[in-house]
Amino acid sequence: MTLSRRAAIGAAATLYAAPTLLHARHAAAQASAPPVVGPAFHRFEVGALKVTVVTDGSNVRPNATQGLVVNATPEQVGSAMSAAGLPGPAMRNPYNVTFVETPRGLVALDVGTGGAGGPGTGALQDNMRAAGLDPARVLLIAHTHFHGDHIGGLTSNDGAALFPQAMVVVPEREWAFWTDAGEESRATEARRPGFANVRRRFAPYLDRMTRFAPDAEVAPGIRAVATNGHSPGHTSFLIADGTAQALVIGDAITAPAFFMVNPDWCPVFDMDPAMAVDTRKRLLDRAATERMPVVGYHFDMPATGRVERAGTGYRLVPGAA
């Protein structure tokens, strides 16, 4: 099965355009949902840099065999879930934000859903405090991309900045796409709310926002890695101190049971599926070759692990960080 770029963009945008509908679906699925996996936060070190992954919560996809993977059959997806020990067909979708203590202060890599992912989400700030991280201490927010579950936590429902001390840095290609009036005018009805959401969420930060180029150092010890495909300017971040390193991959790779084991599989949310597959393979090869820990935005806690080659694909060894 193949999916055009236009169809992929339209399907992906549906997630970010209809939070009320999603809330209802997620609430209905909770009774049969898989149990919550792992703690509210996980802390590890990269050299002298202290890294804390904090969950914003999770929601549930009632049937992961239907519509999530656009180029695999329901039977293939079900088999992948069974092989990974997932009971199925429901699948929990976590949201995890990475914080790095740098010499210049606390840096956040994305900011969570702001509760827009359903009733099981929006716990970031409470879980930050449980981890000993004060939101007022965040001095810099660096974004992987602008899908709603990554930028929703920038503001409250009334539009107030939730990180009042923070500067914001964004991938220049991502900003160019989501602020382009021409792109918005050509967008499908389902995708168009994503443009408005970008304007809304970034509005209180515009006077303290800058754009960064691929491979830029966004903070001491944190460098951008271009990983386009999931979105036009999607970016991952390499955290490094001396020879120690870890890769925060954002949504370049989501559910490991699907997209590590089968890197050619495409989630419906990838806006450019062919480019996203190339990106996935490149990242997985690098992570396996360099034996570096990865941090996944949509991985079950502890949301970290090492990537190993396995047959024609890869597998995640959780917690190896």
pLDDT, averaged in runs of 10, over the chain (321 residues):
39 37 36 54 97 97 96 97 94 97 95 93 96 96 98 96 97 98 92 95 98 97 98 98 97 98 97 97 98 97 96 91 64
Cβ pair 289, 302 in contact under 8 A: no
297 closest CA partner among 143, 101, 157: 143
State whether residue 148 is helix, strand or coil.
helix
Q: Helix-strand-coil percent breakdown of the chain, rounded to 5? A: 35, 30, 40
Q: What is the pLDDT of residue 156?
A: 95
Contacts 24+ apart (CB under 8 A), 260-264: 260/284, 260/307, 260/313, 260/314, 260/315, 260/316, 261/80, 261/83, 261/84, 261/310, 261/313, 261/314, 261/315, 262/72, 262/80, 262/313, 263/313, 263/314, 264/71
Cβ pair 77, 113 in contact under 8 A: no
DSSP single-letter state for residue 267? B
As given in the structure block, the two tokens for residue 153 are 């936590």
Q: What is the pLDDT of residue 34?
A: 45
Domain housing 157? 5-318
Give how many domains the chain has, as a whole number.
Answer: 1
For 240, half-sphere exposure in the C-beta direction (CA atoms, 13 angstrom radius) is: 11
CATH number at residue 182: 3.60.15.10
98 closest CA partner among 283, 249, 241: 249
The residues that bridge with 52 in the sheet, in sequence order, are: 43, 99
Does the pTM exceed 0.75?
yes
Q: What is the pLDDT of residue 22?
A: 35
